[in-house]
Amino acid sequence: MNPLLICTGLTMRFGGLTALDNLYLEAREGEVLGLVGPNGSGKTTLFNVLTGIYRPSAGKITFAGENITSGTPQEIHRRGIARTFQRSRLCLDLSVFDNIMIGNHTALRLDFFHNILRRRAFCRDYELWRDKAAEMLRALNPSLVSRMFRPVGDLSMIDRRRVENSRALVRRPRHPRLHDPSAGMTHDETRQLMDEITASRMGGDRLTVILIEHEMEVIRRSTSHCVVLNFGRKLCEGDYAGVVADPRVQEAYLGKELE
Amino acid sequence: MSRAAAIFSGPLGCILPAFLLLAWSGFFLTAEDQTSILLSLLSLAGFLLAAVRLGWVNILREAIAVQERLWDACLITIMLALMILFREDHYNLFLLGTIMAYATAVLGLNVQLGYAGVLNFSCASFFGVGGYTAALLLSGTDLPPLLALPLGGAVAALTGCVLLLPVLRTSGHYAALVTMAFALLFRVFLDVSEWFGGPQGIPVAPLTIAGLDFSQGILWGDAEFSFYLKYDLLLLLVLCLAYSITRRLERSWIGLALDAVRSDEVASACFGIHIRRWKITAFTLGNFLSGLAGALYAMMLAYISPANFTFADSLLFLSILLLGGIGNIQGVLVATVLVVIVPEKFQVIQEYRYLIYSALVLLMIVFRPVGLLPRKPRAYTGSPA
């Protein structure tokens, strides 16, 4: 399998703090890459650098053979990279449908003529997307369909995560990144959600996913390959069993035994 | 659903409230002495409180949502009926005109602040740019006078471009400061500028469309209707247009993009939404509407001076938006009527109007930050899904 995404020598400094330090990372087409590491190890920074929110201090990011190192978030999204956020950044006062359509922004017709003057054509266009969103939601949680025009703020945590994942997946990106999809949910809910995500992966498209997750059980079940970060550097990589058995990883999480 | 609720979810649910509204406003506007004005205000407040408590407001909002065209027609009919009622009464027709001009300007502000979240503390300045543009165009050029309206809007939108860079580069308090500074500068600029008449201001030539002079009354048999009637009709047309455009804007992908920009710039950027593009769109469109309203308002006033477009007026526009419910254009209409009409008619508070506005705005922020009529989730096709 070819690497879809390659980072070489990726470095991100904030003043005196080096959040990412000369990092090499590759994600192969179609795999689910688990990104783990203790708090402050640079996982979130890596996501923000990869999606163009931060501009890296040094290094290079290649996606599908193209250099995307200094792209804006908009340019990077256009290439098919979508993400969710650690603390789900949904627009709570907007409806479920609105939030999903924000993820669909680049597929929408945005000219004044279409939106303001040709209302009949707009309504047909709208109904098409409404049905599509309903179909997506039905696959996740049928009860969400009837709440499609309610504010997201009214939903439970798991449903919010579902909406957020739908927002990231609605444009059928080649490379979604999921950040802490289980945060704020019970174990059962997490398992259910991950099953849903894997199901949407199996549905024809071979999505390449990078998953940040603190719940090790989720990592074990969902990922084919893991990368462990610590202090902005790659500590080790491999399959789940290999990684958890690695004494360096145990040391990073639990600290060194006193001599 | 109870039987009463079933009846009022039909056409009656729109027509009856509209009729009550017309009757009350007719009575209120013709009332002369301060006690009857106070009484009618108190009765309105009592009635509204009861309506909220008994859930009538929600019944009305639902009735409006399912029969929007009917409600639009009702509102236009109320305005027309009031105009006919006061056909010879300069003062009340002028009040109606002011309400409609202000409402149009606040609709512009609503696109900026309510949708895209772009703070603008200089709405009255753009209103004034439109007014001064109309004044200069009508007296100094041979352009068709009607063109002064769109040009007033266009010049206001262009003037807004001066502010674009600072507005895009700042956010929150800083953006507020930048626009405040602009409002103050605008006032000073007018005061010292000979060309714009300095502090005394300049006269605005009346509008003429196809030989129809807007400064002349309308002769109808023996009666002569006030010339304000013509301006009111034109203002009503402009308000309807602005209202319709803002409403369609909200119910479109553009409205969604503006909302996304307001609620989370970082997340929006990650889904390919160009933050600057939409902020510029909202700011420019809003200023255009304010300028358009200002141009027509200036013609109606026939004489404008810097005192018409001060920072305090910008705050007035903002307080209308806050009072009505940010982002809800129906709220804009309600709040404009209240904010314009109450101090005008209720002379006792005239002197303290800014004091009362400030108190009102503070109370709103503390007790009901969402405004009188909070915005509902978007319904793209009008009727709730």
Q: What residues in B contact A94, CB-CB < 8 Å? A: 256, 259-260, 263, 377-378
Task: Give the separation between CA B110 and CA B367, rounded to whole angstroms.
Answer: 21
Q: What average pLDDT does this structure show over A43-56? A: 90
Question: What's the pLDDT band for B88 if we cut at 50, 70, 90?
Answer: confident
A109-123 pLDDT per residue, tens = 999 999 999 889 999
CA separation, residue B66 to residues B61, B72, B145, B238, B373 (Å): 9, 12, 40, 25, 17
Neighbours of A11 (CB within 10 A): 16
- Whether residues B1 and B100 share a domain: the answer is no
Q: What residues in B contact A78, CB-CB < 8 Å? A: 272
- Whether residues B195 and B267 share a domain: the answer is yes
- Whether residues B164 and B51 share a domain: the answer is no
- Whether residues B140 and B282 share a domain: the answer is yes
Query: Burial code of B142-168, b = ≥16 C-beta within 10 A, e = fewer?
Result: eeebeebbebbbbbbbebbeebeeebe
DSSP β-bridge partners for residue B373: none
- Which string of DSSP letters, residue by residue, matches B72-100? HHHHHHHHHHHHHHTTT-HHHHHHHHHHH
Q: What residues in B contact A110, CB-CB < 8 Å? A: 253-254, 257
Interior angle at CA B5, CA B2 and CA B11, nearest 5: 145
Mark yes or no for CB contact B259/A148 under 8 Å. Answer: no
In this structure, are residues B257 and A105 in contact, taking their beta carbons and an 8 Å threshold? yes
User: What is the residue range of B245's domain?
Assistant: 90-307
CA separation, residue A163 to residues A148, A151, A183, A252, B269 (Å): 10, 11, 14, 34, 18
Q: Which residue has the higher pLDDT, B383 or A61?
A: A61
Amino acid B274 reads: H
pLDDT higher than threshold 80 for residue A205? no
Residue with tokens 């009214």: A154
Three-class SS of residue A82?
Answer: strand
In a domain, B365, yes or no: no
Q: What average pLDDT does this structure show over B285-303? A: 95
Domain boundary among B249, B282, B307: B307
The two structure tokens encoding residue B243: 């209202």
Q: What average pLDDT does this structure show over B352-373? A: 82
pLDDT higher than threshold 60 for residue A200? yes
Domain boundary among B258, B292, B307: B307
Three-class SS of residue A121?
Answer: helix
CA separation, residue B288 to residues B61, B159, B295 (Å): 30, 10, 11
pLDDT higher than threshold 50 for residue A75? yes
The two structure tokens encoding residue A97: 């449908």
- Whether residues B114 and B63 share a domain: the answer is no
Task: Give the separation between CA B117 and CA A77, rounded to whole angstroms.
Answer: 23
- Whether residues B300 and B207 share a domain: the answer is yes
In a domain, B378, yes or no: no
The whole-number pLDDT of residue B55 equals: 84
A120 CB within 8 Å of a chain B CB: no
- Whether residues B40 and B117 share a domain: the answer is no
- Whether residues B70 and B109 share a domain: the answer is no
In a domain, B369, yes or no: no
Task: Give the separation between CA B161 and CA B52, rounded to whole angstroms.
Answer: 43
B233-290 pLDDT per residue, tens = 999 999 999 999 999 999 999 999 999 999 999 999 999 999 999 999 999 999 999 9
Q: Which residue in B243, B213, B245 sits closest to B231, CA to CA?
A: B213
Domain boundary among B276, B307, B338: B307
Q: How far is CA B65 from the centre of its chain?
A: 21
A16-20, A29-33, A191-195, A213-217: which range is least confident on average?
A191-195
In a domain, B99, yes or no: yes
In a domain, B268, yes or no: yes
In a domain, B165, yes or no: yes
pTM value is 0.90
Q: Which helix (H) or strand (E) holds B202?
A: strand B202-203
Question: What's the pLDDT band for B139 if we cut at 50, 70, 90?
Answer: confident
In this structure, are residues A148 and B374 in contact, taking their beta carbons and an 8 Å threshold? no
- Whether residues B181 and B298 share a domain: the answer is yes
In a domain, B316, yes or no: no
Chain A interface test: which of B253, B273, B277, B328 (most A C-beta within 10 Å): B253
How many domains in chain B? 2
B330-359 pLDDT per residue, tens = 999 999 998 888 888 777 777 787 787 778
B242-256 pLDDT per residue, tens = 999 999 999 999 999
The whole-number pLDDT of residue B385 equals: 44
pLDDT higher than threshold 90 for residue B121? yes
Chain B interface test: which of A86, A116, A128, A163 (most B C-beta within 10 Å): A116
Q: Which helix (H) or strand (E) holds B278?
A: helix B275-301
pLDDT higher than threshold 50 for residue A233? yes
In this structure, are residues B224 and B216 in contact, taking their beta carbons and an 8 Å threshold? no
The whole-number pLDDT of residue B359 equals: 84
Note the residue count of chain B: 385
- Whether residues B53 and B152 share a domain: the answer is no
A175-184, B154-163, B376-385: which range is least confident on average?
A175-184
Chain A residues 52-81 with a CB less than 8 Å from chain B: 52-53, 72-74, 77-78
Looking at chain A, list the stretches that DSSP marks H as alpha helix, in order from N- to C-terminal side. 43-50, 73-78, 96-103, 112, 119-140, 142-146, 157-169, 187-202, 216-222, 240-245, 247-254
- Whether residues B98 and B228 share a domain: the answer is yes
In a domain, B351, yes or no: no
Mark yes or no for CB contact B378/A95 under 8 Å. Answer: yes
Question: What's the pLDDT band for A24 if we cut at 50, 70, 90?
Answer: very high
A258 CB within 8 Å of a chain B CB: no
Nearest to A98 among B245, B259, B266 (CB): B259
Interface ipTM above 0.90: no
B208-226 pLDDT per residue, tens = 887 778 878 777 777 788 8
Q: Which residue has the higher pLDDT, A219 or B271?
A: B271
Looking at A141-239, list the stretches that DSSP marks H as alpha helix, in order from N- to C-terminal side. 142-146, 157-169, 187-202, 216-222
Question: What's the pLDDT band for A194 if we cut at 50, 70, 90?
Answer: confident
- Whether residues B162 and B207 share a domain: the answer is yes
Number of inter-chain CB pairs under 8 A, A vs B: 102
A29 CB within 8 Å of a chain B CB: no
Highest mean pLDDT of the ranges A185-199, B165-179, B271-285: B271-285
In this structure, are residues B218 and B229 in contact, taking their beta carbons and an 8 Å threshold? yes
